[in-house]
Amino acid sequence: MIKRLADYYYNTGLTYARKNEISAAIEKLLQSLALSRENINALNLLGLCFYRMGEYEKANKFWRESLLIEGTDNPASYYLAELEKERAVLKDLINYIQPLIAGKKYKKALRIIKKVGNISLSSISINCISDGRISFSRISAGSIINWLKKKSIKNNTSNFNTNNVKFLNYVGVLYRLSGKRKHAEEFWKKSLAIDRTNKQALDYITIRGL
């Protein structure tokens, strides 16, 4: 009975994830794991969902837990290896732009984000789960510096390929702070394309005073 219910929550979570309702998927997957903690598929899928949300520490936690249960022939080992590469890139990027944001140089920070964003920080699809391998972009942390040395890229939001709810919302706020409401809404809508019920993105769009 308990296993059947755990499987029901897992399958419901998978359905939500494939419909780009990541917040709802996370809720169901956590319910599944509360009943059956050793469900590797649920752990891996939950890690992928948190990855899409930009919650890298949580993704890391569930993938590592999955590996403790099954250390061989587990796609979680691949996810973790690729996640470390991406975390290094984002860490360097955030460290680079934080002083600019503190100094309210939002437009300059956005130009830097645009340069890195054109490399495509991630291109992960929930629908690829059954393949056991996810296509992450392969970027070394040092590539950021090389891109920063190149000629500025024309400011066109359609070239920004990052699929990460947290980061897209963050960039949207930067655009809003720089006085570009329409550009900000483009990024919040991209966030909602990943997670249709994302409360933060919905709040940003509906609160006109932001």
Full pLDDT tens readout for the chain, 210 residues: 899 999 999 999 999 999 999 999 999 999 999 999 999 999 999 999 999 998 999 999 999 999 999 999 999 999 999 888 888 777 778 888 889 988 989 888 888 887 765 544 343 333 333 333 333 333 333 443 444 434 333 333 333 346 789 989 988 999 999 999 999 999 999 999 999 999 999 999 988 555
Is the separation of the CB atoms in 35 and 2 below 8 Å? yes
The reported pLDDT for the residue numbered 148 is: 40
The reported pLDDT for the residue numbered 93 is: 82
Q: Which residues are CB-neighbours of 134 under 8 A, at least 6 positions away?
A: 48, 75, 78, 79, 82, 124, 125, 128
Angle, alpha carbons 56-113-62 (nearest 5°): 5
Cα-flanking dihedrals φ and ψ of residue 41, to 5°? -60, -40
The reported pLDDT for the residue numbered 153 is: 31
Is the separation of the CB atoms in 50 and 58 below 8 Å? yes
Is it true that domain 2-69 has CATH number 1.25.40.10? yes
User: Exposed (0-12), middle (13-18) or buried (19+): which is 49, by Cβ within 10 Å?
Assistant: buried
The reported pLDDT for the residue numbered 210 is: 57
> In the chain, what are the domain boundaries?
2-69, 90-206
